[in-house]
Structure 1
Amino acid sequence: MGLLEQCDEAFGTSNLYQVLGVRSGASEGEIRRGYRKVSLQVHPDRVTAAKKEGATQKFQILGKVYAVLSDGEQRGVYDEQGIVDEDADVVKQDRDWKEYWRLLFKKVTVADIKNFEDKYKGSEEEKADIKQAYLDFEGDMDSIMESVLCSTSGDESRIRVILETAIEAEELPAYTAFTKESTNKQRARKRRGDREAKEAEAARQELGLEDGSDSLKMLIQKKQKDREKQMDSFLSAMEAKYCANPQKGGKKAAKKGKK
């Protein structure tokens, strides 16, 4: 049974992009994040013994799907012809997919986060992310501040300047939710941000975490549920952008998106 047939049987679709929950023109980072998100749901170490066999099969299929879409040449063949080269090494090779997953998504340490933050804040990448978040949430600053990586209440005035400058330059539309936001909403957001920052610092001190510690999961568990989800998304994004990729892809496809 070929990979597309396996996908259809295990996930109800033979579309590789849909298996990972991403669009056909997805970037490498989006494909990586999609793979991580879906594979976490079926990881053999995260399910009950009764479901382990089925989870293992799905996990292996997901690994092959990611291997195809992260390889430029194989993705190009799939995009242009709608087929998978079953004889390609990325598909047919006997691989330990759990080990491959561990290599792909290594643990992120406190030091990693600090190094990333130092490079990210003020960069063109951050500005692009801020503008995209503004468009995605139609100017809602609560959602923008939660979405932009590394942002705290102390960054809000800086982020506002970036957005106001882009609006004046007509790079972004002037959403009322942003231009007419009430002072009360701004104050409530600052109070919430200050409170969460104190909770995070108290948890870090309680656990005795230092820069370089790989015990971030313990810190996450000490935070409130909604913030835990946000931190998990942050770690996923960091891993997708900056963890080493063991898959050496070929040339990037020149054409994408026929599926």
Structure 2
Amino acid sequence: MPSLHDLCEKYFQSRDLYEVLKIPNIANQKQVRKAYHKLSLLVHPDRVEEKEKIEATEKFKVLGKIHSILSDKEKRAIYDESGDCDEENDDIVERDWNEYWRMLFKPITVKDITDYEKKYKGSEEELGDLKRAYLDGKGDMDFILEAVPFSHTDEEPRLRELIQGLIDKGDVPEHKAFTDETPRKRERRKRKWEKEAQEAAKLKQEKDDVDLSMLIQKKQQQRATEMNSFFDMLTEKYGGKSAGKKTSKKKK
């Protein structure tokens, strides 16, 4: 089984728990909690498309494990001193990370995600994530759009303008993968994203249809139960006996 360090590197490109949460190793508990909340909100399985749920769930688990270590004084001290994550601990191995999240934060809603997206776009936080993705991906826009939250091909012109601004100011080096990207590569990326969007919309419609069908069945069952109770009441009131009671013997 991969270690927590391996999973951090696989999903967040770093083996350092603090780097994954994007906080310094001197961060206080409030900063640890805030960083965990922000990142877990971005990868929460309830906010991603169906095809992304498996990976999002794994990322979500990793973040939960990191927070459980850095929010515990003794575990954090051991990690800071030796780099040991104490992964044999039953609390780490067996914990339900969805329940752990719900214990710490209020239930996530679509409005929460939408509000966060509005706040995120155009912020210094987004610019920092964009800069990091540009450097890690060496200017490859396919990588950048995958790495930066809430980004897609419709956002590409705006993101390109921000990256060019970073290049012009000398904040990041000029990568040919970015400056010399061919129109053909851009068009291929756009077609890929459009296809994925159509597939996601289809899956959502199928799920909505199933949910509606189950709701109708549930309502029908509820109405049938209510009607049976109503008839039982009528029988009891006007018939003198309910179907569940034994009839009395006739007098001789």
TM-score for both structures, normalised by structure 2: 0.51
State the aligned residue count.
167
Is contact 2:139–2:176 with CA below 8 Å preserved after alignment?
Answer: yes
Letter in 2 for 1:69: L
Q: Name the residue aligned to 2:248.
A: none
Please state if 1:67 is matched with 2:60: no
Inter-CA distance 178–156: structure 2 relative to 1 (3 Å threshold):
same
Question: 2:218 maps to which residue?
Answer: none
- Alpha carbons 1:77, 1:83 under 8 Å: kept: no
Using the TM superposition, give the Cα deviation of residue 116 of structure 1 relative to its aligned residue in structure 2, in angstroms: 2.0
Shift of 1:76: 5.9
> How has the CA–CA distance of structure 1 residues 208 and 154 changed in structure 2, closer, same or farther, with 3 Å as cutoff?
same
Q: Counterpart in 2 of 1:123?
A: 123
For the residue of structure 2 that corresponds to 1:138, the secondary structure is: coil
2:227 — aligned with what?
none
Bigger proportion of residues as helix: 2
Q: 1:160 to 1:77 in 2, by over 3 A?
A: same
Instruction: Tell me how far apart the structure 1 counterparts of residues 83 and 168 of structure 2 sit (CA, whole Å).
Output: 47
Q: Secondary structure at the match of 1:114?
A: helix
Q: What does residue 241 of structure 2 align with?
A: none
Q: Within 1, Cα distance between the matches of 2:173 and 2:140?
A: 13
Q: Is the 8 A contact 2:69 2:76 kept in 1?
A: no
What is the TM-score normalised by the length of structure 1?
0.50
Matching of residues 87-236 of structure 1 within 5 Å: 97-98=95-96, 99-100=99-100, 102-104=102-104, 108-208=108-208
- Please give the alpha-carbon distance, in whole angstroms, between the structure 1 residues aligned to 2:196 and 2:133: 21
Which structure has more relative contact order (CA 8 Å, sep 6+)? It is 1
Distance in 1 separating the partners of 2:130 and 2:204:
28
5+ residue gaps, structure 1: 1-10, 42-61, 85-90, 210-214, 216-259
Paired residue type of 1:169: K
Describe the shift of the 1:70–1:206 C-alpha distance in structure 2 as closer, same or farther (beyond 3 A): same
| Distance change in 2, residues 1:148/1:115 (3 Å) | same
What are the superposed Cα offsets for residues 69-107 of structure 1, whole Å, 9 maximum, x if unpaired? 224x446633565499xxxxxx9x9xx943435535876
Percent identity of paired positions between Structure 1 and Structure 2: 35
Which SS does the other structure have where 1:172 is aligned? coil
Secondary structure (helix, strand or coil) at the match of 2:122 reads coil
Check 1:110–1:206 CA distance in 2 against 1; reply closer, same or farther (3 A cut).
farther
**Counterpart in the other structure of 1:241:** none
CA distance in 2, matches of 1:12, 1:25: 19
Q: Which runs of 4+ in 1 moved over 6 A?
A: 30-33
> Where in structure 2 are there 5+ consecutive unaligned residues?
9-14, 22-31, 41-56, 212-252
Q: What CA RMSD, in Å, does the superposition of the two structures yield over aligned residues?
A: 4.2
> CA offsets, 1:30-72, max 9 Å, x none?
7986xx748859xxxxxxxxxxxxxxxxxxxx96x7534224x
Counterpart CA distance in 1 for 2:60 and 2:124 is 31
Instruction: Tell me which residue corresponds to 1:23.
Output: 16
Which amino acid is the alignment partner of residue 154 of structure 1? D
Question: Could you say which structure has the larger radius of gyration?
Answer: 2
Deviation at 1:198, TM superposition (A): 3.0
CA drift of 1:117 comes to 1.4
- The structure-2 alpha-carbon separation of the partners of 1:79 and 1:180, relative to structure 1 and needing over 3 Å to count, comes to same
